[in-house]
């Protein structure tokens, strides 16, 4: 935005966040308190009904937000007086540097404290703190879900701290349960996509995993190799089964409700209710290990005798090795193992486990190197709907370890038996469409997959609207735009609107549903320092010092657009559209420049700190490649250089130098611009065709004298065609030989 939005009783200080769903501004209320203000623009929505629905939803959420300490408090919801946007005022997150002390917050450098910022500073957080935080967020999600809503983008950046307490932020993403609009962040979104309570809990589990391990959520469920040194590994072990359940690939195996997850988390931090049975701990470990989780837990009870080390190397590499209740990864070295009988369990996802009992006599270390896990096998049947597709299967992606990877490609149905267990990538093709899915083959029940090629749709909207939507290089309409019969999968569109940056919008199309894709276009100026540019009329400009100058004189076609738009009477013109406009006086040329400035600013081609105008006399000399003429005014510089012309030093003019009087060039009057050779800067017709008005006055008396440069199609005297010659004319005068060219310059420069 060019200026801050107007919010009643608040001084809006600066924008601190933006996205497709709105902008967040830092504001100070009349009491002096700093607040966050979310702006949701009417132009983001297709119609008034959709905009009103969002406003009503946030109005209803306002009191609800204050009922649970895990939500950011929404303090007020209101609308702009012109109905251009609605807004809601929220409590402000603590500052990363100043904390909750608002008196010491430097609002110019304010940065909200979030879980993401904490994680970046500490790498990982203490597990007890994580469990308390997770219980609070799970409870807040439970309240949200009980009211038929989901958040859809739980991640560390969307959990802020207010007075040191964690709270769910970005409430603008809250939607009715089941809404299919694809939002969310890779790695936090479950395989089936966002929009359900189970999906929110999956995201929360990934957040807690990152906080507890210091690893990226994409590494789940792996743990750091140095976890045995963690001072809080016991609590981390108790947290593990909760993370496994929350982040189960199958949504049906996750928590039935957020309150159930909250209860399990609170059980960890309620000592009286903790499960202390070693058998229960071992069960948790085995459950973790069965899906590839590495866990290190309590050491076995000591037995009398001399302890030894036991080294276990299993194939394939990376297998989980459990000795009694201690869990390591192969190759594993268990230290100080007491004499006696011990249970060894080796496993890896996709392989059958191996169990052994080991007797330790004491005094001599033990090496075990003969354990080789055998790959489990399962079966799968894959079909397409409608029938007739072609299916390929590749893998396994995980776990690796096959000497020869599996690949099958055939018409559907694809039926495979005795297939090595693991995760495979399946791709189905039907006509020009394709679907891809990741499937998990196990040794259990045969897996039956149907890949359906049902179509979906997308509603594309932009702020502002009216952007051209381009797909695969073809223009398919303008926003807001509904597109039917889209093949499920990821789609990309380019949105293009004059004055705004081309924006690529990406979304996921789901079968039989409508996806909503929205984006706020970003304004930009087309000018870049030192580079040529074309404006909205197609006029071409090249850099000239700190300004840009048109490479040709202003054409009839460009001037006619101005005349039609402003209803200018008696349009001065000469010849065809590509010929230079003639018969304009100084004020009419300047009026065109003012109109062009307003047009280009509104379209976003130039900023408010730039303007179109006539070239100053000294700028025109610079464009004509003239050396320093000396003197501060046109009248002092007039005629000083006696042997230099716009085309060089030759006289008479070369045949391709320009359109002059007496020349045999085929043009009775003006010639189309750019007919003759340009100078070294790429500028045309600085000599001949039409006299060009300059910005300066020529102080030669009491009248308003102006300066014209370059000669015209009637000029044939050597003196008139000198580059240093100034034609001094009353600025109100019209003549068929008077025209102009434009420059673009920073405001208040000359």
pLDDT in tens, 85-118: 999 999 998 988 888 887 778 877 888 888 988 8
Find which of 48-62, 405-419, 442-456 is predicted with most confidence, using mean pLDDT.
405-419
Query: Vertex 363, ends 361 and 364: CA angle to 5°?
Result: 85
Q: Are 153 and 185 in contact (CB under 8 A)?
A: yes
Residue 616 vs residue 120, higher pLDDT: 616
pLDDT category of residue 525 using cuts at 50, 70 and 90: low
Q: Note the Cα 98 to chain centre separation in Å.
A: 29
**What confidence score (pLDDT) does residue 271 get?**
56
Which range has the worst mean pLDDT, 144-158, 312-326, 429-443? 429-443
pLDDT category of residue 19 using cuts at 50, 70 and 90: low
Residue 41 vs residue 710, higher pLDDT: 710
Which of 247, 268, 290, 13 minimizes the C-alpha distance to 130?
268
Whether the pLDDT of residue 733 is over 90: the answer is yes
CA distance 320 to 675: 79
Q: Cα-atom radius of gyration of the chain, to the nearest Å?
A: 37
pLDDT category of residue 692 using cuts at 50, 70 and 90: very high
Task: Tell me the mean pLDDT in the region 620-646.
Answer: 92
CA distance 151 to 202: 12
Q: Which two tokens stand for residue 519?
A: 């984006």
Which of 51, 58, 49 minimizes the C-alpha distance to 78?
58
Task: Tell me the mean pLDDT in the region 165-191.
Answer: 62
Q: What are the phi and psi torsion angles at 38 (to 5°)? A: -95, 130
Whether the pLDDT of residue 277 is over 80: the answer is no
Whether the pLDDT of residue 284 is over 50: the answer is no
Whether the pLDDT of residue 394 is over 80: the answer is yes
The pTM score is 0.41
Task: Tell me the mean pLDDT in the region 552-576.
Answer: 77
Percent of the chain with pLDDT over 90: 37
**What confidence score (pLDDT) does residue 712 get?**
95
Task: Tell me the mean pLDDT in the region 539-561.
Answer: 94
Residue 294: DSSP 8-state = -
Whether the pLDDT of residue 674 is over 70: the answer is yes
CA distance 270 to 278: 18
pLDDT category of residue 511 using cuts at 50, 70 and 90: low
Task: Tell me the mean pLDDT in the region 690-710.
Answer: 89
Query: Vertex 217, ends 214 and 222: CA angle to 5°?
Result: 70
- Burial readout 152-161 (b: 16 or more C-beta within 10 A, e: otherwise): bbbbbbbbbb
Q: Are 277 and 225 in contact (CB under 8 A)?
A: no
Computed over every residue of the chain, the mean pLDDT equals 83
**What confidence score (pLDDT) does residue 276 get?**
41
Whether the pLDDT of residue 153 is over 90: the answer is no
Whether the pLDDT of residue 279 is over 50: the answer is no
pLDDT category of residue 294 using cuts at 50, 70 and 90: very low
Which of 424, 432, 426 minimizes the C-alpha distance to 400?
424
**What confidence score (pLDDT) does residue 403 get?**
66
Q: What are the phi and psi torsion angles at 473 (to 5°)? A: 85, 0
3-state SS assignment for residue 618 = helix
Task: Tell me the mean pLDDT in the region 572-582.
Answer: 77
Question: What are the tens digits of pLDDT across the range 165-174?
Answer: 999 886 544 4
Task: Tell me the mean pLDDT in the region 239-252.
Answer: 88
**What confidence score (pLDDT) does residue 431 get?**
67
Which range has the worst mean pLDDT, 33-47, 264-278, 662-676, 687-701? 264-278
Q: What are the phi and psi torsion angles at 424 (to 5°)? A: -120, 155
How distant, in Å, are the alpha carbons of 71, 94, 101, 633 from that of 104? 25, 11, 6, 55
Find which of 378-392, 432-446, 574-588, 638-652 is predicted with most confidence, using mean pLDDT.
638-652
β-bridge mates for residue 409, sequence order: 392
Question: What are the tens digits of pLDDT across the range 192-234?
Answer: 778 789 999 999 999 999 998 888 888 787 776 667 678 888 8
Sign of CA dihedral 311, 316, 317, 321: negative
CA distance 29 to 712: 64
CA distance 46 to 152: 22
Phi-psi map region of 480: left, alpha, beta (phi>0 left; psi -120 to 50 alpha): beta
Cβ-based neighbours of 525, under 8 Å, separated by 6 or more = 604, 605, 606, 607, 610
CA distance 6 to 4: 6
Find which of 72-86, 397-411, 487-501, 616-630 is predicted with most confidence, using mean pLDDT.
616-630
pLDDT category of residue 178 using cuts at 50, 70 and 90: very low
**What confidence score (pLDDT) does residue 320 get?**
82
pLDDT category of residue 418 using cuts at 50, 70 and 90: confident
Whether the pLDDT of residue 627 is over 80: the answer is yes
Query: Vertex 202, ends 201 and 206: CA angle to 5°?
Result: 115
Percent of the chain with pLDDT over 70: 88
**What confidence score (pLDDT) does residue 236 get?**
84
**What confidence score (pLDDT) does residue 103 get?**
77
Whether the pLDDT of residue 179 is over 60: the answer is no
pLDDT category of residue 570 using cuts at 50, 70 and 90: very low
CA distance 660 to 653: 9
């Amino acid at each position: 935005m060019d200026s801050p939005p107007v919010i009643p009783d608040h001084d809006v200080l600066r924008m601190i966040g933006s996205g497709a769903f709105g902008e967040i501004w830092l504001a100070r209320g009349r009491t002096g308190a700093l607040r966050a203000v979310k702006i949701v623009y009417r132009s983001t929505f297709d119609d008034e009904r959709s905009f009103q629905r969002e406003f009503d939803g946030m109005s209803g959420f306002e009191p609800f937000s204050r009922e649970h300490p895990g939500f950011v408090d929404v303090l007020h919801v209101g609308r702009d007086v012109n109905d251009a946007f609605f807004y809601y005022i929220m409590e402000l997150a603590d500052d990363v540097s100043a904390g909750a002390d608002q008196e010491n917050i430097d609002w110019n450098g304010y940065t909200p404290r979030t879980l993401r910022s904490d994680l970046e500073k500490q790498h990982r957080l203490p597990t007890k703190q994580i469990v308390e935080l997770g219980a609070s967020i799970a409870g807040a999600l439970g309240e949200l879900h009980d009211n038929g809503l989901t958040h859809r983008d739980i991640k560390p950046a969307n959990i802020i701290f207010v007075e040191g307490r964690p709270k769910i932020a970005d409430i603008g993403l809250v939607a009715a349960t089941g809404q299919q609009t694809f939002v969310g962040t890779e790695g936090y979104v479950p395989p089936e996509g966002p929009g359900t309570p189970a999906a929110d809990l999956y995201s929360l589990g990934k957040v807690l995993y990152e906080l507890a391990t210091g690893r990226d959520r994409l590494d789940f469920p792996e743990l750091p190799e140095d976890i045995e040194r963690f001072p809080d590994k016991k609590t981390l072990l108790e947290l593990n089964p909760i993370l496994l359940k929350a982040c189960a690939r199958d949504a049906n195996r996750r928590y039935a409700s957020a309150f159930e997850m909250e209860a399990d988390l609170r059980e960890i931090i309620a000592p009286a209710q903790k499960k202390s049975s070693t058998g229960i701990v071992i069960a948790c470990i085995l459950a973790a290990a069965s899906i590839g989780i590495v866990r290190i837990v309590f050491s076995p009870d000591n037995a009398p005798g001399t302890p030894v080390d036991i080294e276990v190397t299993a194939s394939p590499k990376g297998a989980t090795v459990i000795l009694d209740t201690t869990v390591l990864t192969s190759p594993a070295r268990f230290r100080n193992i007491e004499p006696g009988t011990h249970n060894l369990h080796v496993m890896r996802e996709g392989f059958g486990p191996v169990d052994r009992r080991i007797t330790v006599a004491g005094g001599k270390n033990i090496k075990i190197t003969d354990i080789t896990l055998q790959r489990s096998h399962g079966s799968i049947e894959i079909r397409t709907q409608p029938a007739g597709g072609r299916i390929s299967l590749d893998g396994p992606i995980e776990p690796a370890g096959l000497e020869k990877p599996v690949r099958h490609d055939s018409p559907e149905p694809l039926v495979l038996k005795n297939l090595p267990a693991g995760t495979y990538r399946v791709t189905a093709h039907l006509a020009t469409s394709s679907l891809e899915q990741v499937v998990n083959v196990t040794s259990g029940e045969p897996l039956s997959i149907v890949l359906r090629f049902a179509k979906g749709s997308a509603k594309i909207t932009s702020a502002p609207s009216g952007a051209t939507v381009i797909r695969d290089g073809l223009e398919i309409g303008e926003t807001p735009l509904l597109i039917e019969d889209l093949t499920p999968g990821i789609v990309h569109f380019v949105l293009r609107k004059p004055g705004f940056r081309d924006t690529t919008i990406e979304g996921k199309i789901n079968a039989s549903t409508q996806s909503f894709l929205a984006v706020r276009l970003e304004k930009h100026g087309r000018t870049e320092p030192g580079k040529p540019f074309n404006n909205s009329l197609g006029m071409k400009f090249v850099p000239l010092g700190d300004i840009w100058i048109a490479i040709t004189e202003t054409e009839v076609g460009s001037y006619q657009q101005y005349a039609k738009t402003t209803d200018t009477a008696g349009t001065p013109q000469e010849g065809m559209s590509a010929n230079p406009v003639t018969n304009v006086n100084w004020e009419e040329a300047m009026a065109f420049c003012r109109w062009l400035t307003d047009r280009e600013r509104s379209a976003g081609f130039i900023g408010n700190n730039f303007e179109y105008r006539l070239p100053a006399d000294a700028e025109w000399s610079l464009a004509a490649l003239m050396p320093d003429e000396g003197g501060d005014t046109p009248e002092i510089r007039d005629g000083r250089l006696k042997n230099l012309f716009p085309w060089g030093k030759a006289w008479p003019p070369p045949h391709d130098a320009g359109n002059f009087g007496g020349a045999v060039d085929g043009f009775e009057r003006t010639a189309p611009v750019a007919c003759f050779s340009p100078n070294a800067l790429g500028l045309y017709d600085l000599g001949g065709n039409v006299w060009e008005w300059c910005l300066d006055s020529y102080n030669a008396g009491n009248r308003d004298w102006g300066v014209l440069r370059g000669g015209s199609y009637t000029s044939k005297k050597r003196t008139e065609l000198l580059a240093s010659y100034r034609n001094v004319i009353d600025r109100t005068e019209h003549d068929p030989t008077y025209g102009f060219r434009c420059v673009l310059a920073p405001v208040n420069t000359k």
